[in-house]
């Protein structure tokens, strides 16, 4: 079911001094969706978020909230009261956790008796119900960020903006907060925009992704769409599509293409999904989580691509290991620690890597006479 558009941004442009740091032709935010703004440092994520939140003067462009354009100062002020923002730095006052969480409600004139139950409820949902009387100066980084989130959520905003909310936290703390926030946003049906440079965070929270570089949106779409069908090599690398293979299209029928890999790959062919003309040069991407490793070719497997290879590197990646292979071409796979031990994988180990044709996606086509 398609949800109503809550916020429409058109032709957003922001300059810092004479330099244009944001140029976004259009972006819509639908009610109840979580949108992740992704990009490297300086890509313009914070600038876009501040612009969407109406907190930054635009050189050009317009924002519509629930169909009404925010033209006047009072329109923008009214809009700002309906959204809240959380930053990487929790920015807590020198007061108790309860006073911090209730600060926005107090500002809105809610009496103490009405504030207390709401503060308690949100503190409990964020797992800090037993810290209400603690001074905010004596909180861990994770507790402080939970307090900042409770302070934002207690206002029941129509849009929650989160600017790199997890990046100052250690991996374990971040993991717990991501889980809790994911549940809270889903339960509350909250509309949220958050920025991150980590595709793992984006995959855990977001319904939609917008990938940015140099103040521009490179690709916007559903989580799976962008993760599996990045439209260019930069987006592919940024969303964790670690293997990119270039070759010449040997055949293509009904969306299934045979790619003959370039120099050094010994004429190996990969079956991939996509439309291209025979003779064209094409780039195909494969996500590491879609590559299976085994010690022998599994004849019962439905995977259309299977290659003998040698392990070149084993790199810990959170709960998984990334295994890099030389199959005559580079290939990366994720395995669990259990599989790693069972297969006895270490640099130099022989291994068979397999993946389905549906896991190999056409990213870009080039000319008939392009270099492979
Ligand atoms: N206050 C400012 N004055 C001048 N330039 C700025 C200011 N804030 C941001 N910029 C510039 O705008 C561009 C986008 O910055 P922005 O902070 O939006 O990127 P980002 O993607 O959020 O980066 P990061 O991940 O490092 O926070 C950068 O080139 C940055 O140097």
pLDDT > 60? residue 261: yes
Q: How many angstroms separate the CA atoms of 148 and 167, rounded?
A: 14
202 lines ligand 1 (CB under 6 A): no
Question: Hey, which bits of the chain come out as E strands?
Answer: 5-16, 19-30, 34-38, 60-65, 68-69, 83-86, 159-163, 192-196, 208-213, 216-222, 243-253, 256-261, 269-273, 281-286, 292-294, 305-317, 320-326, 330-336, 350-355, 360-365
Same domain, 155 and 38: yes
What is the model's pLDDT at position 365? 81
Same domain, 277 and 151: no
Q: What is the mean pLDDT of residues 129-157?
A: 95
- pLDDT tens sequence across 349-367: 999 999 999 999 999 888 6
- pLDDT tens sequence across 30-83: 999 999 999 999 999 999 999 999 999 999 999 999 999 999 989 999 999 999
Q: In the listed set 233, 254, 273, which residue is the last one of a domain according to the structure? A: 233
How many separate domains does the chain show? 2
Q: In the listed set 187, 216, 233, which residue is the last one of a domain according to the structure? A: 233
Same domain, 216 and 269: no
What is the model's pLDDT at position 300? 73
Q: Which of 77-81, 94-98, 316-320 has the highest mean pLDDT?
A: 94-98
Same domain, 266 and 194: no
What is the model's pLDDT at position 7? 97
Same domain, 12 and 152: yes
What is the model's pLDDT at position 172? 86
HSE-up of residue 288 (Cα within 13 Å, Cβ side): 22
pLDDT > 90? residue 162: yes
The protein residue whose alpha carbon is closest to atom 18 in ligand 1 is 44
Q: How many angstroms separate the CA atoms of 276 and 255, rounded?
A: 8
Pocket test for ligand 1, best of 45, 166, 211 (most atoms within 8 A of CB): 45
What value of ipTM does the predicted structure carry? 0.96
Q: What percent of the chain clears pLDDT 70, i.e. is strictly above it? A: 98
Give how far Cα 159 sits from Cα of 208, 210, 213, 256, 305, Å. Answer: 15, 17, 24, 42, 44
pLDDT > 60? residue 1: no
For CA atoms 110, 112, 117, 118, give the dihedral sign.
positive
Same domain, 177 and 299: no
What is the model's pLDDT at position 329? 94
CATH number at residue 270: 2.40.50.100
What is the model's pLDDT at position 251? 95
How far does the centroid of ligand 1 lie from the alpha carbon of residue 33, in Å? Answer: 25
State the pLDDT confidence band at 372, using cuts at 50, 70 and 90. low
pLDDT > 90? residue 146: yes
Domain ranges, residue 94: 5-233
- pLDDT tens sequence across 183-236: 999 998 899 999 999 999 999 999 999 999 999 999 999 999 999 999 999 999
What is the model's pLDDT at position 210? 97
- pLDDT tens sequence across 150-161: 999 999 999 999
Q: In the listed set 211, 233, 255, which residue is the last one of a domain according to the structure? A: 233
16 lines ligand 1 (CB under 6 A): yes
Per the CB < 8 A criterion, the answer to whether 167 and 88 are in contact is yes
Q: What is the mean pLDDT of the chain?
A: 93
CATH number at residue 157: 3.40.50.300
Same domain, 33 and 165: yes
Same domain, 245 and 174: no
Q: What is the mean pLDDT of residues 132-158?
A: 95
Same domain, 229 and 247: no
Same domain, 337 and 192: no
37 lines ligand 1 (CB under 6 A): no
Same domain, 256 and 220: no
Same domain, 104 and 147: yes
Question: How many H helices and E strands in the chain?
Answer: 10, 20
pLDDT > 90? residue 299: no
């Amino acid at each position: 079911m398609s949800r109503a558009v809550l916020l429409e941004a058109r032709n957003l442009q922001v300059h810092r001094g004479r330099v244009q740091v944001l140029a976004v032709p259009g972006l819509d935010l639908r009610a109840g969706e979580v949108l992740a703004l992704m990009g490297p440092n300086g890509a313009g994520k914070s600038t876009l978020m501040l612009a969407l939140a109406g907190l930054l003067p635009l050189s050009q462009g317009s924002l519509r909230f629930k169909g009404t354009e925010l033209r006047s100062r009072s329109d923008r002020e009214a809009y700002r009261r309906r959204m809240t923002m959380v930053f990487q730095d929790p920015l807590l006052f020198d007061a108790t956790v309860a006073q911090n969480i209730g600060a926005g409600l107090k500002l809105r004139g809610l009496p103490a008796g009405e504030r207390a139950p709401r503060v308690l409820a949100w503190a409990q949902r964020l797992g800090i119900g037993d810290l209400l009387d603690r001074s905010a100066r004596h909180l861990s980084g994770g507790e402080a960020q939970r307090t900042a989130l409770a302070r934002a959520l207690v206002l029941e905003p129509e849009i929650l903006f989160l600017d790199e909310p997890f990046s100052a936290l250690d991996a374990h703390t971040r993991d717990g907060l991501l889980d809790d926030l994911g549940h809270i946003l889903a339960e509350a049906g909250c509309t949220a925009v958050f920025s991150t440079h980590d595709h793992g965070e984006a995959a855990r929270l977001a319904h939609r992704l917008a990938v940015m570089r140099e103040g521009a949106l490179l690709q916007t779409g559903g989580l799976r769409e962008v993760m599996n069908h990045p439209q260019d090599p930069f987006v592919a690398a940024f969303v964790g599509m670690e293997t990119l293979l270039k070759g010449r299209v040997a055949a293509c029928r009904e969306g299934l293409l045979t790619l003959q890999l370039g120099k050094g790959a010994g004429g190996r062919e990969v079956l991939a999904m996509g439309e291209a003309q025979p003779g064209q040069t094409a780039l195909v991407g494969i996500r590491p989580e879609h590559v299976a490793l085994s010690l022998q070719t599994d004849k019962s497997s439905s995977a259309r691509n299977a290659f003998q290879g040698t392990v070149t590197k084993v790199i810990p990646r959170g709960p998984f290991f990334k295994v890099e292979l030389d199959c005559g071409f580079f290939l990366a796979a994720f395995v669990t620690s259990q599989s790693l031990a069972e297969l006895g994988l270490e640099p130099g180990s022989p291994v068979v890597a397999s993946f389905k044709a549906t896991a190999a996606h056409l990213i870009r086509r080039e000319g008939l006479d392009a270099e492979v």
